[in-house]
Structure 1
Amino acid sequence: MRFLVTGAAGKLGRAVVDDLVEHGHAVHAVDRAPVPARDGVTSTVLDLADYGQVLEAVAGQTDDRGGAFDGVVHLGAIPAPGMAPNAVIFRNNTAATYNVFAAARAAGVRKVVWASSETLLGLPFDELPPYLPVDEEQPVRPQSSYSLGKAVDEEVARHFARWDPQASLIGLRFSNVMTDEDYARFDSWQDDPSLRAWNLWGYIDARDGAQAVRLALQADRRGAEVFIIAAADTVLRADNVTVLTGRYADIPVRGDVSGRVTLLSIAKARRELGYEPQYSWIDRVQRPMHV
């Protein structure tokens, strides 16, 4: 199949492009930054805030081969709070998402998989979650302009799906995306788990994020839906029982929090998409030796 991927030069975008190509698909990669050439990948530099550029890309008119896409993966955004002024983040990200959704509708592309965010769960968890593990049933609680923009994106997706009952718009609430290069610093916070309590010690390996994107593209679904996408474990070597103390001890428990299992529930993604994380940081970092 043939897919368009926005934000293809980013950490997750690169993994998604690689995964789709490795599974036999063709990719047209778009980003503000150039995307390295490789077999199975064509690319265009464009501005997602410009609807005309987005429409041309989604309609297949920027690619020499041309033609329609089987789906769009929308990852392009300012990726976190604090990377630009709040108003800039909100304006840039919501406009880009609207432009992608609208261009897909205009071009007749009915499958869109896009990056929502774990931040909608209430990150940073200064206000504790209502229960553990956190799941998609919890009402969204944006705490920043970045996450407020993601809440708007999810609402916009629901209405685009309402306008076209045959459309599929799947939002993936990715946890903190990591690669092998990032894992080297994980041991730096093992002695002070509070350093990573802001997202309940969650993360996602970029390759597992890419797996989730591919499964969402393959899913035979209609309408707008969201899924939490995280690793199967936490960023800590310690079991959850040792960190769910103090202010965390009184949070009601509604599911499995044993061992090092993720506290960002991926049960829905497992059940409905067939998602199963393949990578754990703890398998890829050698424990430091103490003399």
Structure 2
Amino acid sequence: MSRAVVDMTDGAAGRVAVTGGSGKLGRAVVAELLDHGWEVHNLDQAPPPGHVRAHSAYTRIDLTDYGQVVEALTGIDDRHRGLDAVVHLAAVPGPGVAGNAATFSNNIRCSYNVFAAARLAGIRNVVWASSETVLGLPFETPPPYVPVDEEYAARPETSYSLAKHLDEQMAAQFARWDPQLKIIGLRFSNVMEPHDYAAFPAFDADPSLRKWNLWSYIDARDGAQAVRRALAYPNPGFEVFIIANADTVMATRTSASLAAEVYPDVPVLRDLGEHETLLSIEKARRVLGYDPRHSWRDEVHGRTQQA
């Protein structure tokens, strides 16, 4: 059972590798960890944008090659001679981006290689990107209840989601093999950056446009906060957490009305806040001290006021 952590601090920052640090979420994670005193090593196939490259070390690594991953986590010439932690974000980023078999093969192989190489290197602080999709997205079969949480069995509906589900099963076994290992999977919602929010007001007219993930999202900066807090979490073992923003993508439609209209037969477990996320972040709040701070509403309203 997860133990609550009160007044979570950043913990002792050290040297961390971020796989996929050049990607959408990865760039935010690199920036967040640098801002909190970590020495960050970005392991990716693609180089990061210039403003990220200037502040973190980048090494081109093919994560499907186990030998390269072992080298990257144990020591790279003048870059480092060992790491304190690994954040694994690199993957084919969603269903349909590549063929089913290619997505599954790439993602499951990369995760195994990172987990196994971290074990070989003696790294016992591992955080990786699982996915909201393991909850049953795109919810063509209605969820068992709302808000959904980490308590019901995974329901992968795509090859991408199946790989993420098996990542979680694999991580649990790595934790069983090493009782000192902390390995945390973050089930990130749909990752957004501020420039994406201009499209959000249009969602309000048609609830079906975003019902596939219960109208949820995660600001990349809040996703990065969750990564930092997961790295700081002191207790060993395997855990998963849903990571979403506190509100939905809908401007005026309340969460209760959306659930009643689109999923009328799905039990609602408690009273809902006006725009409260239907992907429950209560476990992440309670255990990690996660506190999302970047709502799309603030971004859009801020731009309107400036205009």
Confirm or deny: 8 A CA contact 1:3 1:28 kept in the other structure. yes
- Percent identity, aligned pairs only, is 58
Cα deviation code 1:151-186 (max 9, x no counterpart): 110000000000000001100000000000110111
Please point out which of 56, 64, 87 is paired with 2:101.
87
Please point out which of 54, 61, 66 is paired with 1:38.
54
Note if 1:8 corresponds to 2:21: yes
Distance across 1 between alignment mates of 2:263 and 2:109: 37
Higher relative contact order (CA 8 A, sep 6+): 2
Deviating above 3 A after TM superposition, structure 1's stretches of 4 or more consecutive aligned residues are 286-289
Show the 5 A alignment for 1:267-282.
Answer: 267-282=282-297
Cα deviation code 1:194-231 (max 9, x no counterpart): 10000000100000000000000000011111000000
Please point out which of 7, 15, 22 is paired with 2:35.
22
Confirm or deny: 8 A CA contact 2:17 2:43 kept in the other structure. yes
Confirm or deny: 8 A CA contact 1:133 1:256 kept in the other structure. no
Distance across 1 between alignment mates of 2:24 and 2:275: 25
**Map of 1:184 onto structure 2:** 198
Distance across 2 between alignment mates of 1:18 and 1:288: 27
Q: Give the 3 Å change call, closer, same or farther, for CA 68–139 of structure 1 in structure 2.
A: same
Aligned residue pair count? 287
Distance across 1 between alignment mates of 2:166 and 2:77: 31
Q: SS at the partner of 1:244? A: helix
Scaled by the length of structure 1, the TM-score of the pair is 0.96
**Map of 2:243 onto structure 1:** 229
**Map of 1:71 onto structure 2:** 85
Please point out which of 121, 142, 156 is paired with 2:156.
142
State the shift of 1:188 in Å: 2.1
User: Which blocks of at least 5 consecutive residues in structure 1 are unaligned?
Assistant: none
Confirm or deny: 8 A CA contact 1:113 1:217 kept in the other structure. yes
Show the 5 A alignment for 1:175-254.
Answer: 175-237=189-251, 238-254=253-269
State the shift of 1:247 in Å: 4.5
Confirm or deny: 8 A CA contact 1:57 1:63 kept in the other structure. no
State the shift of 1:257 in Å: 2.1
Scaled by the length of structure 2, the TM-score of the pair is 0.91
